[in-house]
Amino acid sequence: MSAPWIVAFLSLSGIVLLLAVTLLGLLRRVTGVLERTEARLAEAPAQLGGGAAPGTKIPAFEVLSAEGKPVSSSELFSRPAVALFLSAGCQPCRKLVAELTAGDASLSGVPLLAFIEDTAAAREFPLAPELSVFYQRQQAAAAAFQSTATPQAFAVDAGEIVYERTVPGSRRHLLELATRLRQGGEPLAEPDVRNVVRATL
């Protein structure tokens, strides 16, 4: 192999090595940004489930108690409470319920009302005994709250008006929601996923 070919080969090898190192560094940086974004989204749950906006009066609906007795929404929300929507096939719901079951399911005096579709799978769903569980038919409660995702929680005042909504990732999120409802201050501003991502970049 002649000297010019050796120089060309070494130059090309150097360029390839430089490109590989640059791409590896860029990939590590992008991975770090994604990890930080995921952590921020976990800390500030976004409103991915939509649902009735704060200030909305919940229309009347009826659900079944764990004993199979009909219960009206006016009975459920005769005092401030947190409505939690769950579904049997939802993995985050199972994680949240396991956390509630393992610890204290109460929310500092604010009732936690869990709503789940009335199916055989839902009846076998492992729920904490302390939870007030209600079974909905044809998504009656979810339709009233305009909830399309689970888990989703709504703080509701005694006038059956939505005070605040969130997608809870832990019992702590539910407790903070209940505390704001009980204190009657300004509800927490709803986080915007785009702002969380921008703040991470």
pLDDT tens column, 39-86: 655 554 444 457 999 999 999 999 999 888 999 999 999 999 999 999
Beta strands in the chain (DSSP E): 62-65, 70-72, 81-85, 112-117, 132-136, 152-156, 162-166
Q: What is the pTM of this model?
A: 0.68
The residue written with tokens 């769950």 in the block is 86
pLDDT band, very low/low/confident/very high, at 11 (cuts 50, 70, 90):
confident
Residue 183: which residues within 8 A CB-CB, separation 6 or more?
none
Instruction: Note the pLDDT tens digit of each residue in 104-159.
Output: 666 778 889 999 998 887 777 777 666 789 999 899 999 999 998 899 999 999 88
Question: What is the DSSP pairing of strand 132-136 with strand 112-117?
Answer: parallel
The packing angle between helices 193-200 and 3-43, to 10°, is 140
